[in-house]
Amino acid sequence: MEKYKCSSVGIVGSGIQGVCTGLQLIKKGIPVTIFDKHDPLSENFKPASYGNAGHFSPYAVLKFNRPDILKDVPKMLFSSYGPLAIKWNYIFKLVPWLTNYIKNCNSRSMLHTAKYMNQICRSADQSYEEIFKEIDTTNLVDKKGIIYVWSNKNLKSRKLEIKVRNDLGINQKILSQKEILDLEPNLKPIFDGGILYENCMFARDPHAILKKIFRLFLNKGGKFIQDNIISLKQTDENKAILNSEKERYSFEKIVVAAGAYSKKLTDQLGENIPLDTERGYHVHFKGMNKLISRPVICLDRGFGLSPMNQGLRAVGTVELGGLKNPPSKKRIDYIVKSAREFLPQLKEHHDEWLGFRPSLPDFLPILGPSLKNKNIIYAFGHDHLGWTLGAVTGKIICGIVAEEKTNLDLSAYSSKRFN
């Protein structure tokens, strides 16, 4: 029997999901055009896929829909100087996400999320390694592992996380303070212990890697159009259209990979998906990237340090506040102060950046066709793990577009769960 072939695909978004999906489709011989408001090769391109912490973290399957975390949320929200913050002018708009989050905050949902995150995380690195065979990643990807530390002896999440990961067969090595200092001697010993995820990869410049994957896509015949897509529609069995302010583009299928902005498009399709954003920040300490050899994350402060080519990147925290609020100076101050506590050698910082994690309240991405328009396929909502899951998402979405069989159970990623 002849394989199904799609005649053309338009992808909205050239973040890591869009670019990896485009690459897989073009490799299959399916004509693809990627759209983005910003050219990924330009300096103006600064979405989440540009400024993240660079962890390839397939072990991070346990998310925030945990009953133990829920109890701490109100306290954290009322402190403006902690890992979680809120823009109070956004509280009413946050209601759909928040109510769904509370509904999903129980042991059953937590384990459901962990199981289905693990299903895709298991082949996340392998999927990237296949791409890395085709691009030069010298000085861009390191494999020295990733360390998590905790500075609160009674950090209760520790035991639960370790157990769930053990149950799922995830490799983790518990470290004492001394063992961490043996690996990272410049850290100030203000932590109690930690975990090393050995042999994990990290990106020394996520944007540079994305650009290489994007160039590979173009070299294989993929097209890119810089345009802001304002609407989309499936018009008949074999046709779906994208509209910008000036142009109308027609394809057989469309992939929505617009990260945290995807809701603007999915709302038009009559689906009420509670996508929102968990805002995160970074700054760089230029010339200080040699102070540590691998990313170090402080679990109880919700921030981390990543040695990037641009400098030491202090990155993280979660702020609930939508896409339009301006950046918060207090968030930056919190990250800078925390970074200096771990590495007192740090002085001036540069490049304050705010990015938007595409967040769904059960912390699973949406991967699959729109409920009412089967030619429009969703690939968004990867939240804290979107960098890790870019390459595997590309493969999954390509398989959905080409209507191929898969051994994966994709039902858990459908938008049906919110409708």
Ligand X SMILES: Cc1cc2nc3c(=O)[nH]c(=O)nc-3n(C[C@H](O)[C@H](O)[C@H](O)COP(=O)(O)OP(=O)(O)OC[C@H]3O[C@@H](n4cnc5c(N)ncnc54)[C@H](O)[C@@H]3O)c2cc1C
Sites of contact with ligand X (CB under 6 A)? 12-18, 35-38, 47-49, 52-55, 57, 228-229, 257-261, 280, 282, 315-316, 355, 357-358, 380, 382-388
Could you tell me which residues come within 8 angstroms of residue 42 by beta carbon, excluding any fewer than 6 positions away? none
Q: Which is nearer to ligand X, 237 or 245 (CB)?
A: 245
Q: Which is nearer to ligand X, 164 or 260 (CB)?
A: 260
Residue with smallest beta-carbon separation from ligand X: 386
Q: Which is nearer to ligand X, 90 or 261 (CB)?
A: 261
Q: How far is the CB of 124 from ligand X (least distance, A)?
A: 9
Neighbours of 41 (CB within 10 A): 14
Q: How far is the CB of 269 from ligand X (least distance, A)?
A: 14
Q: Are strands 296-298 and 193-197 parallel, antiparallel or unpaired?
A: unpaired
Shortest CA distance to 105 belongs to which of 74, 151, 60? 74
Q: Which is nearer to ligand X, 74 or 326 (CB)?
A: 326
Q: Which is nearer to ligand X, 175 or 391 (CB)?
A: 391
Q: How far is the CB of 4 from ligand X (least distance, A)?
A: 26
Whether 255 contacts 14, CB under 8 Å: no
Neighbours of 137 (CB within 10 A): 18
Q: Which is nearer to ligand X, 74 or 198 (CB)?
A: 198
CA quadruple 360, 366, 371, 375: dihedral, nearest 10: 140
Q: How far is the CB of 38 from ligand X (least distance, A)?
A: 5
Shortest CA distance to 268 belongs to which of 227, 322, 231, 323? 231
Q: How far is the CB of 63 from ligand X (least distance, A)?
A: 12
Q: d(Cα 222, Cα 108) in Å, to the nearest integer?
A: 42
Q: How far is the CB of 354 from ligand X (least distance, A)?
A: 8
Neighbours of 253 (CB within 10 A): 26
- What is the Rg, in whole angstroms, of the alpha carbon atoms belonging to the chain? 21
